[in-house]
Amino acid sequence: MQNHYQIIIIGGGPIGLACAIEAQKSGLNYLILEKGALVNSIYNYPVNMTFFSTSERLEIGKVPFVSNNAKPTRNEALEYYRRVTQTFKINIHLFEEVRTVNKAGDLFGVETTKEFYTADNIIIATGFYDIPYKLGVAGEELPKVTHYYKDPHFYAFQDVIVVGAMNSGVDAALETWRKGARVTIVVRGGEIGLRVKYWVRPDIENRIKEGSIQAFFNSTVKEIRETGVDIEMPDGIVTIKNDWVIAATGYQPNLHFLEQVGIELSDDEVRCPVLNTETNETNIHGIYLAGVICGGMNTHRLFIENSREHAVKIINSILQNVKKDATEQVDE
């Protein structure tokens, strides 16, 4: 069976790679299917992004991650995970999106945009960076609006509105302002987000205080047009001139995909997948979850550094099932 694997891993981020490494060490044959580039979420981070974590907390497979500073950058992380992939010669198919996962007899059938596979086990490690929270306002579909901020130079000497005051929004506001953009930040709450990196928070607060960056607190975007944006404030609506809108409103996991697969989710607003905490196996025998997807809508609970252990738990569970199946076959 040319397209059969003991494990198919959906998602080629750091945790998907960690699962592949553990499978490889255990002698299990596997395949990673990734719909985008290697560590696609990190690739889509802003080019100048700096991690909150130190480099050693992002390591997988016991491969040292050496960075120039205490906090590694996006580019350093991309280089590191490329090196990990090369070191272990990880079996991964990039730019191949999984369409469906179904039970096919005793196996799982996996249909992608390119091929059909079967597998004994499935590990879903899809993260949460692919689906942005929408503003839900008129004009959001205009080309001037983006949910994925990349390079600050693009916005030089333009009128830019940044929606949101968490890490991504604050970074976008500061970086574009430093490249000459005229920046306004729109914040739903009354202050800059409490989870903003501690070395960045004073910077944005001082820029707002001195008037370099205009900030509208307790405010929301009402409507986006070609040349302006309506902002609803506590005392009314104000319209300001605008060239670009960076909607740094956060992202959510693809829970719809889990539901399509048949994975049970909690009934509350967190919609957390129901898992065996010792093995990370879902309600479907042979399907496991790894990484931040395990937290459902609570995307701030799990990170690379505290979900690397999922790989070990999952592979240990699969190994136990393999041994159990082998024993039963011998008995028969």
What is the tens place of the pLDDT at every residue in 158-169?
A: 999 999 999 999
What distance in Å separates the CA atoms of residue 207 and residue 38, rounded to the nearest whole number? 36
Q: What is the reported pLDDT for 130?
A: 78
Identify the band that residue 58 occupies on the pLDDT scale cut at 50, 70 and 90: very high
Whether 329 shows a pLDDT value over 70: the answer reads no
Whether 3 shows a pLDDT value over 80: the answer reads yes
The set of residues, in sequence order, having a beta carbon less than 8 Å from that of 328 and lying 6+ positions away, is none
The candidate with the shortest Cα–Cα distance to 17, out of 66, 80, 74, 75, is 80
Identify the band that residue 131 occupies on the pLDDT scale cut at 50, 70 and 90: confident
The CATH H-level superfamily of 4-131+251-331 is: FAD/NAD(P)-binding domain (3.50.50.60)
Q: Which has the higher per-residue pLDDT, 28 or 45? A: 28
What distance in Å separates the CA atoms of residue 324 and residue 137, rounded to the nearest whole number? 55
Q: Do domains 4-131+251-331 and 134-247 have the same CATH topology?
A: yes
Q: What is the reported pLDDT for 221?
A: 97
Given a contact cutoff of 8 angstroms between Cβ atoms, the answer to whether 110 and 116 are in contact is yes
The proportion of the chain whose per-residue pLDDT surpasses 70, expressed as a percent, equals 98
Q: What is the reported pLDDT for 266?
A: 95
Q: Which CATH code, of 3.30.420.40, 3.50.50.60, 3.40.30.10, 3.40.50.300, is assigned to 134-247?
A: 3.50.50.60
- Please state which of the ranges 51-55, 82-86, 226-230, 321-325 shows the lowest mean pLDDT: 321-325
Identify the band that residue 320 occupies on the pLDDT scale cut at 50, 70 and 90: very high
Arithmetic mean of pLDDT over the chain: 94
The candidate with the shortest Cα–Cα distance to 60, out of 155, 129, 125, 153, is 125
- Residue 293, CA distances (Å) to 120, 254, 255, 296 in order: 21, 8, 8, 6
Identify the band that residue 240 occupies on the pLDDT scale cut at 50, 70 and 90: very high
Domain limits of the chain? 4-131+251-331, 134-247
Q: What is the reported pLDDT for 293?
A: 95
The candidate with the shortest Cα–Cα distance to 10, out of 181, 148, 130, 132, is 130
For 83-118, the pLDDT digits (tens) are 999 999 999 999 999 999 998 788 999 999 999 999
